[in-house]
Amino acid sequence: MANPVKTTCPYCGVGCGVLATRTKEGKIQIAGDPEHPANFGKLCSKGGALAETLDLEDRLLLPEVSCQKVGWSAALQAAADGLSAVREEHGPDAIGFYVSGQLLTEDYYVANKLMKGFIGSGNIDTNSRLCMSSSVAGHKRAFGSDTVPGNYEDWDQADLVVLVGSNAAWCHPILFQRLRHARETRGAKLVVIDPRRTASCDSADLHLALKPGTDVRLFNGLLAHLAAQDCQDSNFVARHTHGMADALASARADAPDIAHLAQACGLSLKDITAFFDLFATTEKTLTVYSQGVNQSSQGTDKVNAILNCHLYTGRIGRPGMGPFSITGQPNAMGGREVGGLANTLAAHMEFDDVSRDRLSRFWDTKTVASAPGLKAIDMFRAVHEGKIRAIWIMGTNPAASLPDATFVRDALEKCDLVIVSDVMENTDTLKYAHIAFPARAWGEKDGTVTNSERRISRQRAFLPAPGDARPDWWIISQVARRMGFAEAFPYETPADIFREHAALSALENDGRRDFDLSGLKDMDTDSYDALAPVQWPVSPAHPTGRKRLFDDGYFFTDDQRARLIAVSCRPPVHTPDKAYPLILNSGRLRDQWHTMTRTGKASRLNAHQDEPALALHPLDAELYDLGANGFAKVSSRWGTLLVRVQITPDQTPGQVFLPIHWTDSHAARAVTGCLVNPATDPLSGQPELKHTPVKVEKW
């Protein structure tokens, strides 16, 4: 057997280390990396089945223009000419890039540089908008920066973990195993706050099945309770925060007494009291939150309602405590670092004059975007309206995964120029492509990803590149060169790009910007190849990375104090009514990932659930005359689909659940995105994927 190649799992934001070994027979064996601090050798069902997903069936292996296979030169020139013509005729804002948390940081960096630095528009956004942009907005409001304060050791050390809007047992399984271990060996307590009873509840001491959309009220009630119980860390609040009085006044107005609060949140007085008392009396409390919080028209306020409780008690930046956003995708965090969101610049800089000037000098360009671009939902609206005339989609499948997916398909149908970079040839989005670029897949490409605890890890190639597939950074750089920007895109290796990314983070960084890789900017290529997992910032003050931020009480606001934010509960944008009386929630299954292009290849993963199914409570099944394993027609104001029925007491009456994985390219066509409403959070732009009014009928 050859020496194992150390790489990182391509699925969730836990970012587990993986060992890939080629056997004498030429097969690839996959195992967990015992030295990686995210997983210490463990892998979940998806990671453990990676070796079964490496075949080339359905791979896109040659560039195409107008559905004709062509050489690279012709395809790259067609893309460059098309983008340049749109820019010339309609201006830079007539171009959009929609990218992905599946891209490596180096790919992301180059895409962002081309759009924001040289095309000259802010119009690059990412499917991470659907994943954690509410956390980003909440972090920035409270901390002055998009910083996750803690690390995974906090999961081992907490005495109480509050899991909000997350089925970590299925969606972040290796982290959840750490929680279970802490519970079994140390007696740590687990509270799950989720409208559904999920697998995570099996290990919980308390499950609060709160009414959808009432999270802000619940955490406002908690803040008021903490004040009533005299749990304020007065020293921390006085020295390191602002806004406490206003936040507390809002909390008290939202939740004047616990009995009414319980009723408003659909909870029993006993359960809500038990939760509040546990939180109030447990110093080492970690509040972990994910898509149930973020994917909401009030996602940012929900995040800040949680952060308020930690700032009020001073439980942040210390072992075993703090708020903890867990990201869905393997590189959602890396994308944030390089400006993959339309409203930020590279290296966590904002669209202010100082940052724009810094970028202009660093990139030697006069065309740095002057304003934030369009966020995902608005970007596809602009395509539909003809304001964006050319869109380049990389490593994601918006025709299936965005809300109101039928509208997105219409938009792509109308668009003058659709360029798609992907590894698969049969995605729903690729059908609309005028130009298709075959990208290299996991195992074939090199670069870095950043996981939910700010840890940068290497993804390393261990397979030969198939066909004419190329790394995304190479494809983007080649198009950039043909658009006339050759000097700015000279990269030969991902190490060249990483060094530039690190140098930019260090430029004029006096410690007032959280993202700092100055300690890595002079790495030679051998050191980059050998880079061990490390948590940013990596700077002279923290040469081996930094486990926790805010341990010194200093934040990244102008006055270095955190902000408690006054928030009030408001209902979701679209509420159930007579025509659409049920609330549709959407999410992941344990053994599938996104639109199943990789996990769908592994038969053992398909065995867990081999087709989409609408989960609903027995009372609703009776009300709508639906039998187990029968079929239902599910309709919303945005679309209709037919799907099998799964009756389960885990659902609350009045609420139904659909998985997000199946698309038109699967035998069981069921594009959940076609049902989902496109309402967004006004601050983060994150869509309300967890709350769409629907009706169900027997079919």
Q: How far is the CB of 461 from ligand SF4 (least distance, A)?
A: 18
- Tell which one of 5, 6, 7, 15 touches ligand SF4 (CB under 6 A): 15
Angle at 267 between CA 264 and CA 271, to 5 degrees: 135
Q: Which residue is nearest to ligand SF4 (CB)?
A: 47
For residue 484, what are its two tokens? Answer: 């006339």
| Amino acid residing at 169 | A
Nearer to ligand SF4, 37 or 654 (CB): 37
Q: How far is the CB of 9 from ligand SF4 (least distance, A)?
A: 3
- Tell which one of 5, 6, 14, 688 touches ligand SF4 (CB under 6 A): 14
Nearer to ligand SF4, 32 or 398 (CB): 32
Please report whether residue 11 would count as binding ligand SF4 according to CB under 6 A: yes
20 touches 30 (CB < 8 A): yes
Q: Mapping DSSP to helix (H, G, I), strand (E, B) and coil, where does residue 193 land? A: strand
- Tell which one of 39, 327, 421, 427 touches ligand SF4 (CB under 6 A): 39
Count of positions on this chain that bind ligand SF4 (CB under 6 A): 14
Question: DSSP string of 397-442?
Answer: -HHHHSSSHHHHHHHHHH-SEEEEEESBS--TTGGG-SEEEEB--T
Q: Which stretch binds ligand SF4 (CB under 6 A): 13-21, 99-107, 460-468, 611-619?
A: 13-21
Cβ of 627: how many Cβ atoms within 10 Å?
12
Give bridge partners of residue 32 from the DSSP assignment: 18
Q: How far is the CB of 329 from ligand SF4 (least distance, A)?
A: 10
Of residues 47-66, those binding ligand SF4 (CB under 6 A): 47
Please report whether residue 16 would count as binding ligand SF4 according to CB under 6 A: yes
Q: How far is the CB of 21 from ligand SF4 (least distance, A)?
A: 16
Residues 140 and 210: their CA atoms lie apart, in Å, by 27
| Amino acid residing at 350 | E
Q: How far is the CB of 302 from ligand SF4 (least distance, A)?
A: 24
DSSP code for 655: E
Give bridge partners of residue 419 from the DSSP assignment: 392, 435
326 touches 203 (CB < 8 A): no
Q: How far is the CB of 16 from ligand SF4 (least distance, A)?
A: 3
Residues 43 and 10: their CA atoms lie apart, in Å, by 12
| Amino acid residing at 135 | S
Which segments of 371-529 are extended strands (E)? Answer: 390-394, 417-422, 435-438, 447-450, 455-459
**Of 242, 225, 326, which is closest to residue 15 (Cα–Cα)?**
326
- Tell which one of 160, 174, 332, 374 touches ligand SF4 (CB under 6 A): 174
Q: Which stretch binds ligand SF4 (CB under 6 A): 38-46, 261-269, 384-392, 434-442?
A: 38-46
Q: Which stretch binds ligand SF4 (CB under 6 A): 43-51, 385-393, 430-438, 470-478?
A: 43-51
DSSP code for 492: S
677 touches 580 (CB < 8 A): no
Radius of gyration of the chain (CA): 24
Please report whether residue 168 would count as binding ligand SF4 according to CB under 6 A: no
For residue 621, what are its two tokens? Answer: 């099944």
Q: Which stretch binds ligand SF4 (CB under 6 A): 166-174, 282-290, 510-518, 543-551?
A: 166-174
Q: How far is the CB of 571 from ligand SF4 (least distance, A)?
A: 33
- Tell which one of 5, 19, 20, 44 touches ligand SF4 (CB under 6 A): 44
Distance (Å) of CA 135 to CA 138, 260, 373: 5, 28, 19
Q: Which stretch binds ligand SF4 (CB under 6 A): 14-22, 429-437, 569-577, 685-693?
A: 14-22
Q: Which stretch binds ligand SF4 (CB under 6 A): 42-50, 198-206, 392-400, 601-609?
A: 42-50
**Of 359, 323, 333, which is closest to residue 136 (Cα–Cα)?**
333
- Residue 425 gets the label, from left (phi > 0), alpha (psi -120 to 50) or beta, of alpha
Please report whether residue 641 would count as binding ligand SF4 according to CB under 6 A: no
- Tell which one of 150, 173, 292, 443 touches ligand SF4 (CB under 6 A): 173
Q: Which stretch binds ligand SF4 (CB under 6 A): 40-48, 66-74, 521-529, 602-610?
A: 40-48
Q: How far is the CB of 180 from ligand SF4 (least distance, A)?
A: 13
Q: How far is the CB of 477 from ligand SF4 (least distance, A)?
A: 28
Please report whether residue 46 would count as binding ligand SF4 according to CB under 6 A: yes
Torsion angles phi and psi, residue 418, rounded to 5? -115, 120
- Tell which one of 5, 7, 12, 231 touches ligand SF4 (CB under 6 A): 12
Nearer to ligand SF4, 211 or 455 (CB): 455
Dihedral sign of CA atoms 595, 621, 580, 303 in order: negative
Q: How far is the CB of 8 from ligand SF4 (least distance, A)?
A: 8
Burial 517-536 (b: 16+ CB within 10 A, else e): bbbbbebeeeebeebebbbb
Q: How far is the CB of 168 from ligand SF4 (least distance, A)?
A: 9
515 touches 347 (CB < 8 A): yes
User: Which H helix or E strand runs over 277?
Assistant: helix 269-281
Nearer to ligand SF4, 128 or 220 (CB): 128
Please report whether residue 43 would count as binding ligand SF4 according to CB under 6 A: yes
Nearer to ligand SF4, 130 or 676 (CB): 130
Q: How far is the CB of 599 from ligand SF4 (least distance, A)?
A: 9
Q: How far is the CB of 331 from ligand SF4 (least distance, A)?
A: 11
- Tell which one of 5, 6, 9, 237 touches ligand SF4 (CB under 6 A): 9
Q: Mapping DSSP to helix (H, G, I), strand (E, B) and coil, where does residue 616 land? A: strand
**Of 242, 169, 174, 152, which is closest to residue 204 (Cα–Cα)?**
169
Please report whether residue 334 would count as binding ligand SF4 according to CB under 6 A: no
Please report whether residue 598 would count as binding ligand SF4 according to CB under 6 A: no
Contacts to ligand SF4 by CB under 6 A: 9, 11-12, 14-16, 39, 43-44, 46-47, 172-174
